[in-house]
A and B are shown apart, each in its own frame.
Chain A
Amino acid sequence: MLPTQVLFLSAVIFVVGTLGVIVRRNAIIMFLCIELQLNAVNMAFVALSRYVGIEGQLFVFFVMTVAAAEAAVGLAIIISIFRHYESVITDDFSFLRW
């Protein structure tokens, strides 16, 4: 199987994830879309690792760890925000502006 097909799939997933981050207002779903983007990158790493070397898979390992840490902290932030605003819709807490 050629990596080309996987790389193409990876690009598609990445684009879909990006689209999700931009169009969704729900903070949790935006988070999921970010995970999608990370996953797309992972896929590209794995596809290329077969030809370039095992480091590709190692990086995927690290990316997963970072994603886990990110998820833990990000979700904690969402919980904390939810306590204040009773909402996870980003329009409701645009307080960074003022």
Chain B
Amino acid sequence: MINPHLNLFIESGLFVDGNMNWKPIMPAIIILAPLIGFIINGAISLYLNRPNVNSKGESSNGLKRIVSVVGPGSILASFIVVGLNGFRMLLAGHPTTFNANYWTWLQTSDFQVNVGIQIDTLSIVMMAVITGVGFLIHLFSIGYMESEKGYARYFAYLNLFVFFMLILVMGSSYPIMFVGWEGVGLCSYLLIGYWFEDEEKASAGKKAFIVNRIGDLGFLLGIFLLHSALGSVDYVGVAENASGVFVYGGGLVTLITLFFLLAGVGKSAQIPLFVWLPDAMAGPTPVSALIHAATMVTAGVYLIVRSSVLFAMAPVTSALVAGIGVSTALFAATIACKQYDIKKVLAYSTISQLGYMFLGVGVGAYTAGVFHLVTHAFFKALLFLGAGAVIHSMHHALHKVHSEDDPQDMRNMGGLRQYMPITCFLMWIATLAISGVWPLSGFFSKDEIIWMTGSFAMAESSPFPSLYKIYWVMAVATALMTAYYMTRFMVMTFHGKNRTVDGAGSAIHETPKIMLIPLIILGFLSFFGGWVNVTPHLMESVIGGFGALPMTDWLHHWIEPVIAESHHIQLENIGETGHVSPVGGGEVFWAVLSTCAAAVLVIGTTYFKSKSLSYGVLGEDSGTISRFLYNKWYIDEFYDKWIVKPLGQMSKFCWLKFDQGFIDRAVNLSGRSAKGIGWFGSLFHTGQVNTYAFFLTLGLLAVLITVMF
């Protein structure tokens, strides 16, 4: 029951209107604040980049302070408005979807796109994650990017990214989402190539951009098909018309969802388009945390959840979504086991976790997918920022002793716990969370996905029961591997003997407060974040009679309105999911088992790995499989040989034979013919007045003939 004083507020119309309909306040601020931040920071960046600005840095220090305030400040303003609106939504109880159209963007005969926003329970969750985690990462960046030359440029891009990301999740139709989709891709490209003087990093940005194009093509084709089928491209229209036009398992809806899947695969770095994400680690570490872990890469999951009605009607695509997801999860986990670059491990871990989200949405557990998205945003941002803190300290320490060692290579680390105890502690929280140890956030979300996969396989009329059983086994295997490689990562970094070059070790120290505070907040969230969506069974078993806590299944109920239609479709065609795992045992049994297994793996790995202190160059201690995993299954080489090279050959053929041989000749021919016509025409240009008079008269004759006959 709501507090009577609060009730007064509600009835006074401050929070809801007379009909108890929920209405947001200042929704435009949410989007515009980052944009304004971008404009200010961009202007400052351009101002500082003028060639005649002297490098004394006196005035630029003042401007830098402005950037430090405006950059995170704009995101904070946005977050406050989001939080306010979220609070209002909570109070409203059953919030209705809010739609606002601002102006018409495109208008052809029957194709209309309005620039508008839609705020519902799903998008407010995404907005909260984006602005909340985004703000913390902005804060961290102040310390991390302190001594960088393009400080203002960095914050301008970062603000622009948040702006586009908010458009992506707040847009009321697919084309608007596509605008945000492309915008975040652009910002990703700009930020990966932030140190563009380094060609390798610049080309990593290019790679990300180009690989994403493939997915974007899918998105566009999906939108076009959707329009031709439904005559509408906004979420409301699609949800209204879908059930009338599409049939369950029909070809058209399958095709549309396959295109959307392609888009999601590109953006969320799934097989086969995941290759850009490890390379994207070339950007600054906070960027990796924000864009390539917490927000942008989850856009594919968001897209599928947004289109849940369509995906629920396409069992084949859903199976493919789940299959791609779980294969990616397993595949990336194997690679992560043998990486030595601190950021590469986290990159493959991210790909793996994104695979889990895809698995979740593929088995119709859209809430579980979003749930994992949220918790993953917390602990993976924490891991990346922690890694950033480590790299930051390593970099400074190595710089001090003039060492050329790679500050990102874990073989150069070890024993950092004594120098950075707080970071170490917080990163252990995140590691346990991602490994799925009770009661941290990752346990609940991952457990739910795995559990739903098993349940889906056992549903009354599951479309591909044996396939989903295989998925379930793979998901469990990946969960165990996650525990292994994350612990290995922690041990190599923080435990054992220090392996940095002489003298550098003592120079490593805890990061400044501005970088530590975001870590602490994220640690808190990683620890407790999972309690927003604990399933009732689990809750009862844990707290007994207090099972009916208000947080039980909260996220599920919260997002329910958005995906209700898809659940309805699923219930109609597949039936109730079996509340049992493929090999028996209830939810609680498997939860306990998995957390025990994860804990055992964590402890075991810590014990054994800490002993083996020497991590030499690859080849000394590794066999064929290690080498294979270290080289990431040779996927890049495979793509290079079978896709990039043939494409290059084809392009070369087109260039030499087709372009030069045919098109150039055609162009030359038109040039020559124009010349010939000109020569012919110049014959009449005698320079004598009489000739012109003659032709004038000829024209008169022609006019007369035309008029008279």
A interface residues (Cβ-Cβ under 8 A, vs B): 18, 21-25, 27, 30, 90-91, 94-98
Q: Is the CB of A30 within 8 A of B689?
A: yes
A96 to B690 alpha-carbon distance, docked (Å): 13
Q: Is the CB of A95 within 8 A of B693?
A: no
Query: Which residues of chain A are within 8 angstroms of B612 by Cβ–Cβ distance?
Result: none
A27 to B686 alpha-carbon distance, docked (Å): 16
A26 to B685 alpha-carbon distance, docked (Å): 19
Q: Is the CB of A22 within 8 A of B697?
A: yes
Can you give 13 A-B contacts (C-beta < 8 A)?
A18-B697, A22-B690, A22-B697, A23-B690, A30-B689, A30-B690, A90-B690, A94-B686, A94-B687, A94-B688, A97-B685, A97-B687, A98-B687
Query: Which residues of chain B are within 8 angstroms of A30 by Cβ–Cβ distance?
Result: 689-690, 693
A95 to B693 alpha-carbon distance, docked (Å): 16
Q: Is the CB of B687 within 8 A of A96?
A: yes
Nearest CB in chain B: distance from A28 CB, A: 12
Given contacts A18-B697, A90-B690, A97-B686, 4 further A-B contacts (CB under 8 A): A24-B690, A27-B689, A94-B688, A95-B687
A22 to B694 alpha-carbon distance, docked (Å): 6
A92 to B690 alpha-carbon distance, docked (Å): 13
Q: Is the CB of B687 within 8 A of A21?
A: no
Q: Is the CB of A21 within 8 A of B690?
A: yes
Query: Which residues of chain B are within 8 angstroms of A27 by Cβ–Cβ distance?
Result: 689
Nearest CB in chain A: distance from B284 CB, A: 65
Q: Is the CB of B687 within 8 A of A22?
A: no
A96 to B174 alpha-carbon distance, docked (Å): 62
A89 to B642 alpha-carbon distance, docked (Å): 78
The chain B residue with its CB closest to the CB of A30 is: B689
A72 to B393 alpha-carbon distance, docked (Å): 92
Query: Which residues of chain B are within 8 angstroms of A97 by Cβ–Cβ distance?
Result: 685-687
Interface residues on B, range: under 10
A30 to B689 alpha-carbon distance, docked (Å): 10
Nearest CB in chain A: distance from B665 CB, A: 33
Q: Is the CB of A21 within 8 A of B693?
A: yes
Nearest CB in chain A: distance from B126 CB, A: 72
A95 to B697 alpha-carbon distance, docked (Å): 22
Nearest CB in chain B: distance from A81 CB, A: 11
Q: Is the CB of B697 within 8 A of A90?
A: no
Query: Which residues of chain B are within 8 angstroms of A25 by Cβ–Cβ distance?
Result: 690
A97 to B688 alpha-carbon distance, docked (Å): 8
A71 to B689 alpha-carbon distance, docked (Å): 17
The 6 nearest A-B residue pairs measured at CB? A97-B687, A94-B687, A90-B689, A21-B693, A22-B694, A94-B688
Query: Which residues of chain A are within 8 angstroms of B685 by Cβ–Cβ distance?
Result: 97
Q: Is the CB of B694 within 8 A of A91?
A: no
A90 to B687 alpha-carbon distance, docked (Å): 9
Nearest CB in chain B: distance from A73 CB, A: 16
A22 to B693 alpha-carbon distance, docked (Å): 6
List which B654-687 residues lie within 8 A (CB) of chain A: 685-687
Nearest CB in chain B: distance from A65 CB, A: 23
Query: Which residues of chain A are within 8 angstroms of B693 by Cβ–Cβ distance?
Result: 21-22, 30
The chain B residue with its CB closest to the CB of A33 is: B693
A24 to B688 alpha-carbon distance, docked (Å): 11
A21 to B697 alpha-carbon distance, docked (Å): 10
Nearest CB in chain B: distance from A14 CB, A: 10
A18 to B704 alpha-carbon distance, docked (Å): 15
Query: Which residues of chain B are within 8 angstroms of A22 by Cβ–Cβ distance?
Result: 690, 693-694, 697
Q: Is the CB of B697 within 8 A of A91?
A: no
A24 to B694 alpha-carbon distance, docked (Å): 11
A90 to B691 alpha-carbon distance, docked (Å): 11
A23 to B693 alpha-carbon distance, docked (Å): 9
A95 to B690 alpha-carbon distance, docked (Å): 14
Contact pick for B688, options A18, A21, A90, A98, CB 8 Å: A90
A94 to B686 alpha-carbon distance, docked (Å): 8
A90 to B688 alpha-carbon distance, docked (Å): 6
A18 to B689 alpha-carbon distance, docked (Å): 13
A82 to B688 alpha-carbon distance, docked (Å): 16
The chain B residue with its CB closest to the CB of A97 is: B687
A5 to B468 alpha-carbon distance, docked (Å): 105
The chain A residue with its CB closest to the CB of B688 is: A94
Query: Which residues of chain B are within 8 angstroms of A24 by Cβ–Cβ distance?
Result: 690
Nearest CB in chain B: distance from A18 CB, A: 6
Query: Which residues of chain A are within 8 angstroms of B688 by Cβ–Cβ distance?
Result: 90-91, 94
The chain B residue with its CB closest to the CB of A18 is: B697
Contact with A along B120-136 (1 / 0, CB 8 A): 00000000000000000
The chain A residue with its CB closest to the CB of B682 is: A97
The chain B residue with its CB closest to the CB of A19 is: B697
